[in-house]
Amino acid sequence: MATFAIKYAAMTARLRFAPSPTGPLHIGGVRTALYNYLLAKRLGGTFLLRVEDTDRSRYVEGAESYIIESLKWLGIETDENPIKQGAFGPYRQSERKELYKEYAELLIKNNWAYYSFDTAEELERKRKEAEATGERFLYGPLNRSELDNSLSLDATALEKRLASENGYVIRFKTPKDEVLRFTDTIRGEIQIDTNTLDDKVLFKSDGMPTYHLANVVDDHLMEITHVVRGEEWLPSLALHILLYRAFEWKAPEFAHLPLILKPSGKGKLSKRDGEAGGFPVFPLTWNESIGFKESGYEPEALINFLSLLGWSPGDDRELFSLSELAEIFSLERVQKSGARFDLEKLNWFNAQWIQRLSDEELLGRCKLQNINLYGLADQKALAAIDLVKDRLIRLSDISDETYLFHAPKTYDSAAVQKQWKTETPDILMSFIQGIDSKEADKTTITNHIKLFCEQNGAGVGKLMAPLRIALVGSLKGPSVDALIAFLGKTECANRIERAVVALR
């Protein structure tokens, strides 16, 4: 067998994310877009969005705008896209369909493709005949001369055939008896026996190209230097390499990303896994499937989490902003094996990013997300956020910290039984009356607690636990001194009086 090796040429970096608008953007697609974006930025290149919508039978109205809005929410900005046109447009394949026929015919002219007249019924019959004998039917180098195509027809006969029929397709003519060797940046060297390959359809009878032809032609015309995509496209790589060879074009660098796996680690993460586990798999809500945004996840946290699903920075650091990731990301640190989706880890990232964001940013997001802050004025709301932000997993959890907004209506019976004593009302009333200012700060309150306990010979436990019950209704919540400073002396006194009445 002859051997053919592919070498890559260095060019100014141009990377693309090229989804099909057949539905919502899966979280795996988000990670693919993210890795392309990060590599483009690290290399000082361009990142573009191309919509591959040639398969009109699977086109879903609204899917393209959903993809664009998802990337925008996550901060993954494209330099060129269907709306922000660059010098390589159009950026929708449906608007480029006239040029693909030209390239398909060029392949025929150069003996790299041929017309195929086999009907779907004929091919299905051959598949069943092969299956009956335990074989697999393959339309390729070893049997195409026996099938209904143009390879055995002279020019006159072919012209008549084309004129009399409209049910033909154009197939790629895979080289026979070769070993194709090429390199995937993540997976290393790959070898393929060309006799095991199909002669894939490049141009359909409806006048539209298949994914393979359109994808390669567009990547070349848009000067894409790196093709970074999911591993589900790995079986197509040999054909795409051969198409570059047939056109005599320089091939880009290819890298196929590992799968995002189910929480169990077994199999690809799906929408059903999200439904079963109670977590999203789409960035934004799509129909009845709630998205990460609407579930209370911050975009910075989701980006941070996804970046580490299959890639490592090379050290133990875990928290990265998008700009920080763009400075260090490389394909060389992307792993081959799948990465397990870990909801607990995502929740950890979300909590960490809530703590990292400023109170002003969080308040703005509360307003955008219509999170209930029970009518607090902005300054008071900022203080409430600062008080409990280190306790939140999702920003919307602040609404559950009801003691921030109104006095407790019930009291934890187990806590009361253990902590509320006969002398408790007198201790609490004496304590709160001893605070000088109605709006004392946390330091002043801390000092008052210490002094009160010393002067009254009371242990801290006799004061703090029942005080927390009176203010919160249970033994949870932030530090008592900070909570008193937030609520103010008057509100705290009112809550203590309510608790004394309720618990006597």
Residue 131: band (very low, low, confident or very high) from pLDDT cuts 50, 70, 90: very high
To the query of whether residue 421 is one of the catalytic residues in this protein, the response is: no
Residue 11: band (very low, low, confident or very high) from pLDDT cuts 50, 70, 90: low
Q: Strands 339-340 and 260-261: what pairing?
A: parallel
Residue with tokens 């929480």: 263
Predicted model pTM: 0.91
Q: What is the pLDDT of residues 164-175, one digit of tens each?
A: 877 899 999 999
Tell me, what amino acid is at 159? E
| Percentage of the chain lying above the pLDDT 70 cut | 98
Candidate list 84, 101, 268, 271, residue with the active-site label: 271
Residue 4: band (very low, low, confident or very high) from pLDDT cuts 50, 70, 90: very low
Q: How high is the pLDDT of residue 10?
A: 42
Q: Stretch 212-218: mean pLDDT, rounded?
A: 97
Q: What is the pLDDT of residues 361-376, one digit of tens each?
A: 999 999 999 999 999 9
Residue 3 pLDDT exceeds 60: no
Residue 5 pLDDT exceeds 50: no
Residue 57 pLDDT exceeds 90: no
Q: How high is the pLDDT of residue 150?
A: 95
Residue 159 pLDDT exceeds 70: yes
Asked if the peptide bond before residue 280 counts as cis, ω within 30 degrees of 0, the response is no
Domains of the chain as residue ranges with CATH: 98-203 (3.90.800.10), 261-355 (1.10.1160.10), 359-397 (no CATH), 413-503 (1.10.10.350)
DSSP codes of every residue in 6-62? --B---S-EEEE----SSSPPHHHHHHHHHHHHHHHHTT-EEEE-B----GGG--TT
Residue 201 pLDDT exceeds 80: yes
Range name among 84-88, 225-229, 356-360 with the lowest pLDDT average:
84-88
From CA 209, how far away is CA 202, in angstroms rounded? Answer: 6
Residue 56 pLDDT exceeds 90: no
Query: Tokens representing 160?
Result: 């008549």
